[in-house]
């Protein structure tokens, strides 16, 4: 049993059969459905960064700024990223690929990942910082080596 085809007329007056009308309806439905996914601002794009905290202390602040700029934007929005492997995906908006990433830990220590390329790398593994005593010993050793060389 075949169903009768419906007909309608387009602007030129030519009849359009049901198959063509359904095709046009499908295209219109597709365009309407895709409209909410269009970018809000044409010039701004988003980069997504997967951050894993392998350090011992929680990360209490993670901010980003285009490389060399001072206008940092907070990425964690008041949440903490526990140490030992907790991870999160953060969004960084802007056209620039290269950013400076500033990390602040719960114990007050800070780390800077300068010139991080978001277009090439999509993940950041934050590793434990060297112990403060180790840094002091390393600095003392280098100073002693310089004075011995003079």
Q: What angle do CA 53, 55, 68 make, to 5 degrees?
A: 70
Phi, psi of 32 (to 5 degrees): -65, -40
Of 36-40, 53-57, 82-86, 141-145, the poorest mean pLDDT is in 36-40
**For residue 128, which of 105, 101, 146 has the smallest C-alpha distance?**
105
Inform me whether the pLDDT recorded for 123 exceeds 60. yes
Q: How many angstroms from the chain centroid is the CA of residue 10?
A: 47
Note the CATH number of domain 46-135: 2.60.40.2890
- In this prediction, residue 22 carries a pLDDT of 53
pLDDT in tens, 28-79: 555 555 555 444 455 678 999 999 999 999 999 999 999 999 889 999 988 9
Comparing 6 with 108, the larger pLDDT belongs to: 108
Give Rg (Cα) of the chain. Answer: 28
In sequence order, the 6+-apart residues with CB closer than 8 A to the CB of 141 are: none
pLDDT in tens, 5-35: 555 444 555 555 555 555 555 555 555 555 5
């Amino acid at each position: 049993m075949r169903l009768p085809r419906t007909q309608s007329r387009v602007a030129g007056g030519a009849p359009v059969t049901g198959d063509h009308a359904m095709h046009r309806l499908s295209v219109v439905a597709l365009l309407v459905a895709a409209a909410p996914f269009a970018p809000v601002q044409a010039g701004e794009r988003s980069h997504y960064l997967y951050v894993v905290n392998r350090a011992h202390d929680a990360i209490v602040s993670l901010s980003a700024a285009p490389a060399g700029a001072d206008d940092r934007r907070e990425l964690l929005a008041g949440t903490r990223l526990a140490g030992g492997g907790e991870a999160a995906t953060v969004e960084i908006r802007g056209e620039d690929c290269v950013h400076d990433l500033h990390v602040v830990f719960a114990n007050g220590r800070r780390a800077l990942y300068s010139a991080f390329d978001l277009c090439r790398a999509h993940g950041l593994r934050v590793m434990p910082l060297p112990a403060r005593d180790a840094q002091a010993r390393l600095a003392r050793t280098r100073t002693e080596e310089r004075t011995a060389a003079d």
